[in-house]
Structure 1
Amino acid sequence: MISDDFETVALASIMINDTVEVGKTDLKGFFQVDIPASMKKIIFRSVAIEPATIELVDKCDEVEVVMMLSGTYDFMTLKKVDRHRKKKFKRLPELHKEAFAKGIFKTDKACYTQQFTPHYKKK
């Protein structure tokens, strides 16, 4: 597991069912957890990094995640903050490929899907 600036994410919590912690990444960002086959949704959380919720696809043995660093957005509306965040989010697949090219990841694309979670909710 790495951040969007290619630094390892150490001691990130790995959770299922929104509240059950099943493990943590080690100091080099690696992890190994056993998850029930029926469980497809995994959440990764760490300090100063936005939570990443992924949904596994079939035959996914190697999960390599790029997480977005969380930022401070002073004097901006939530709508504008979400535009900045979404722009960063859209780059995650490209960063995954770049991590593969640099030898950080073993696969060139993720074996999971991930949806953008906005802060701003329309009324």
Structure 2
Amino acid sequence: MKKILIILILFSVSTHGLYAQSKTIKGRVIDDNLETLPYVSIMINDTVNVGRTDLNGFFYIEIPGSVKKILFRAVGIELTSVKLADECDEVEVVMMLSGTYDFITLKRVDKLRRKRFKKLPELHKRAFKKGIFKTDKACYTQEFIPDYKKNKSDIKRERS
């Protein structure tokens, strides 16, 4: 009888830990013109769709506690990768509109994109001042995803 009681207690304690391993994230997504973005897909692990934004750009998702990276994807918008901090549960994201660059090398395009990317924290503060966002500073780090990746021969040429 004692063994059964101990097993039941251990089982209930172990399943209690499973419930605590998911994390609720809520937030809002806007573009670099400070306009809301409806129906943005929200993904984890590069392929698992966990939700999308509503008509006003708001979202509410449940993700496993081990997940530290969220991807935001929409048509006409550049893919946005966000690394969450441990205490981050309110994610307010500014996404860049994608553009078409004719007659420019990929290296030059990435340079222009990176220049726009560096302005995103400033846009986040402006969105806060206008009342669009609740916080003036993001609780995550946003990664720049380059289109052009250097190969080994380019790196060797730069060093010489």
Alignment TM-score > 0.5, same fold: yes
CA-CA distance at 1:38 after TM superposition: 0.6
Corresponding position of 2:50: 22
Which one has a larger percent helix, Structure 1 or Structure 2?
2
Report the TM-score when normalising by structure 2.
0.76
Measure, in 1, the Cα distance between the counterparts of 2:75 and 2:42.
13
2:59 aligned residue (3, 6, 31): 31
Count of matched residue pairs: 123
CA-CA distance at 1:117 after TM superposition: 1.2
1:49 is paired with a residue whose SS is coil
Which one has a larger percent strand, Structure 1 or Structure 2?
2
What residue ranges of structure 1 are gaps of 5+ in the alignment? none
1:22-69 deviations in Å (ceiling 9; x for gaps) = 000001000000111110110000010001000100111110000000
Equivalent positions of 1:43-122 (< 5 A) are: 43-122=71-150
Deviating 4+ runs (over 4 angstroms): none
Q: Which amino acid aligns with 2:41?
A: S
Measure, in 1, the Cα distance between the counterparts of 2:135 and 2:63.
21
Corresponding position of 2:6: none
What residue ranges of structure 2 are gaps of 5+ in the alignment? 1-28, 152-160
Identity, in percent, stands at: 68
Please say which structure displays the higher CA radius of gyration: 2
Q: Which amino acid aligns with 2:71?
A: I
